[in-house]
Amino acid sequence: MNVEIKDAGDARKVALVTFDSDEVTSQDSQVCKQFGRMANIPGFRKGKAPEQVIRKKYAKELKDELNRKVSTTAYEAVLEHEDIRVYSILKVDAGKVEANSPATVEVTVDVEPEFDLPAYEEFEYTVQSTDVKVQDVEKELDGLRDQRASFEEVEREVAEGDYVKCSYEGMLDDSPVAEILPDKPMYGKQANTWEEAGQSKGMGVEGIAEGIVGMKKDEKKEIEVTFEEDFEVAPLAGKKVVYSIEIHEVREKKAPAAEDEDFLKGMKAESLEELKEKIEADL
């Protein structure tokens, strides 16, 4: 796996996470084994069905889970990358992921800004207490859990904070936006993209992230988005665009429990108490 970081703004980065074919195939095998252990297929004992039977019966589910697993591995690699300090994940786009083929996942993140301090020797200030409060430690702990959350598929209406796989196409009057802006597909047409429901700021079309709240899997809907007069993409500035949206998958963000063994291992702590001590020392 290789991670390449590119600038996308003052405090925004795009990470291209590439997997070679062996890495993708390995994850595909793990996914198939997981399904095999849980599968109840007539004619076979639970967990004993041959791999080819599992792959035939659960072809779509295996494909979706491989996409999710590769995407999760990618954004976790970005979170742990030494060259950036991630503030929030805006978008994870895995594109096409198949066994025996390489894959590239594009992860767009906002990062903690870097800046030079001005001269401050003559500033007057009041020294604040450096005592760390319990709630400060808990807040930081919640943030660490949130960074390592998993995304589990759910069958319900989209709620704010969900990650939603959807497709959309925009029309400006009678013209497809994709034809007006062929070099900016995020504003014109997306076949499969992930949106964080309810997020008002981020990459792409703000109105789509807000408009998918309340929708369900396989539901279709049209929303009207009015771009601001000073919008940076000139052909859309001050225009009303109608977007046709279809929902393909809904995933709920679930943070690991603070006592979760894998979470603590990832934080290089033997226990929750040790992790809290590390957090307090950092604060």
Average pLDDT over residues 118-145: 78
Which pLDDT tens digit goes with each residue over 157-186? 999 989 999 999 999 999 999 999 998 888
DSSP category for residue 256:
P
Spatial separation of the C-alpha atoms in residues 167 and 263, rounded to whole Å: 33
Spatial CA neighbour of 215 closest among 238, 244, 183: 244
Spatial separation of the C-alpha atoms in residues 127 and 271, rounded to whole Å: 34
Dihedral of the alpha carbons of 156, 161, 163, 164, in degrees to the nearest 10: 50
Instruction: Inform me whether the pLDDT recorded for 126 exceeds 90.
Output: no
Check residue 228 and give its pLDDT: 92
Check residue 201 and give its pLDDT: 65
Long-range contacts (CB closer than 8 Å, 24 or more residues apart) made by 127-135: 132/280, 132/283
Spatial separation of the C-alpha atoms in residues 88 and 86, rounded to whole Å: 6
Confidence of residue 20 (pLDDT cuts 50, 70, 90): very high
Higher confidence at residue 141 or residue 202? 141
Check residue 84 and give its pLDDT: 83
Confidence of residue 21 (pLDDT cuts 50, 70, 90): very high
H or E element in which residue 264 lies: helix 261-266
Confidence of residue 102 (pLDDT cuts 50, 70, 90): very high
Other residues' Cβ atoms within 10 Å of the Cβ of residue 204: 19
Which pLDDT tens digit goes with each residue over 204-263? 688 899 999 999 999 999 999 999 999 889 999 999 999 999 999 999 988 899 999 988
R_g of the chain, CA atoms, integer Å: 22
Stretch among 116-130, 192-206, 256-270 having the lowest mean pLDDT: 116-130
Instruction: Inform me whether the pLDDT recorded for 56 exceeds 80.
Output: yes
Confidence of residue 120 (pLDDT cuts 50, 70, 90): low
Check residue 230 and give its pLDDT: 92
Q: Specify which residues 194 forms β-bridges with.
A: 165
Check residue 150 and give its pLDDT: 84
* Domains identified in the chain and CATH numbers: 2-111 (3.30.70.1050), 163-254 (3.10.50.40)
Spatial separation of the C-alpha atoms in residues 70 and 19, rounded to whole Å: 9
Check residue 45 and give its pLDDT: 86
Instruction: Inform me whether the pLDDT recorded for 148 exceeds 80.
Output: yes
**Report field, pTM of the whole predicted structure over 0.95:** no
Instruction: Inform me whether the pLDDT recorded for 48 exceeds 90.
Output: no
Q: What is the three-class DSSP state of 139?
A: helix
**In Å, how far are 35, 57, 209 from 41, measured between CA atoms?**
11, 9, 39
Stretch among 31-35, 39-43, 131-135 having the lowest mean pLDDT: 131-135
Check residue 237 and give its pLDDT: 94
Which pLDDT tens digit goes with each residue over 80-94? 888 888 888 888 998
| Most confident range, picked from 25-39, 41-55, 167-181 | 167-181
Average pLDDT over residues 263-271: 90
Spatial separation of the C-alpha atoms in residues 283 and 280, rounded to whole Å: 5
Average pLDDT, the chain: 89
